[in-house]
Amino acid sequence: MNENIHILLAWYSATLEAMTRGQALPETPLQATEAIGSDELAAFNERILRFVDHWSEFRAFAETMAGGDLSASCPRGNQLVAPLKSLQASLRHLTWQTERVAAGDLNQQVEFMGDYSLAFNSMIVSLRQACNFPFSPATVAFF
């Protein structure tokens, strides 16, 4: 087997190990990727490199969101990030709703995000009761 292929296989293995452990990825062996010698292997290598790039973008975006930064731009064309983009949009909306509640608007209701919706809406009911705030028909129907 070509020495460049051995180098790439070792890099694939080290890269996958680093990805599963959350470690920094090893540098791509460019000299080996440029001298594979087979169109099929070169195409396969390109797909692997693209996947590793998408995974790196996913990880960076997830870490940014985990740190509480909801303003980060979502990488375009990366389907690995799509579920996080949806979560980011939901969290941005919840942030806005929470700001509205903090400003005194006790008419906010969350109708998505499962258990969080129940907890948020229950908190609104408790705040209304504590403030003697009149209940709207939508709130009563929700519970």
Would you list the DSSP string of 85-130?
HHHHHHHHHHHHHHHHHHTT-TT----SSHHHHHHHHHHHHHHHHH
For the chain, state the CA radius of gyration. Answer: 24
Residue 143 pLDDT grade (very low, low, confident, very high; cuts 50, 70, 90): very low
- pTM, two decimal places: 0.74
Model confidence over 56-87: pLDDT tens digits?
999 999 999 999 999 999 889 999 999 999 99
The residue to which tokens 């680093």 are assigned: 18
CA-closest candidate to residue 101, choices 72, 78, 140, 127 = 127
**Mean pLDDT of the residues in the chain:** 87
